[in-house]
Amino acid sequence: MTSKKDLRLRVNPKLYDELMEWSAEELRSMNGLVEYLLTEAVKKRKKSAKTEESEEK
């Protein structure tokens, strides 16, 4: 099993409440939702970088 790293994240109360509501709707933990969102953001960033590279050529 892959070990996970701890990450302390401070967010404003309004964002926290929105994330809690979203995670409940998705039947995920807050941690699971945040990890999913960060994973998707990294994938999108990598895809965007590859697209920019190919356009430069």
Is residue 48 a part of any domain in this protein?
Answer: yes
Is residue 37 a part of any domain in this protein?
Answer: yes
Our count of domains for the chain comes to: 1
% helix, strand, coil for the chain, step of 5: 70, 0, 30
Asked whether the beta carbons of 23 and 29 are under 8 A apart, the reply is yes
Is residue 22 a part of any domain in this protein?
Answer: no
Is residue 19 a part of any domain in this protein?
Answer: no
Instruction: Give the pLDDT confidence score for residue 15 in this predicted structure.
Output: 98
Return the higher-pLDDT residue of 2 and 17: 17
Is residue 35 a part of any domain in this protein?
Answer: yes
Distances from the Cα of 15 to the Cαs of 2, 19, 31, 46, 56, in angstroms?
29, 6, 14, 26, 38
The label of the residue with tokens 């995670």 reads 23
Is residue 9 a part of any domain in this protein?
Answer: no
Is residue 10 a part of any domain in this protein?
Answer: no
pTM here is 0.79
The label of the residue with tokens 């990598």 reads 46
> Could you read off the pLDDT of 5-55 as tens digits, one per residue?
999 999 999 999 999 999 999 999 999 999 999 999 999 999 988 887 777
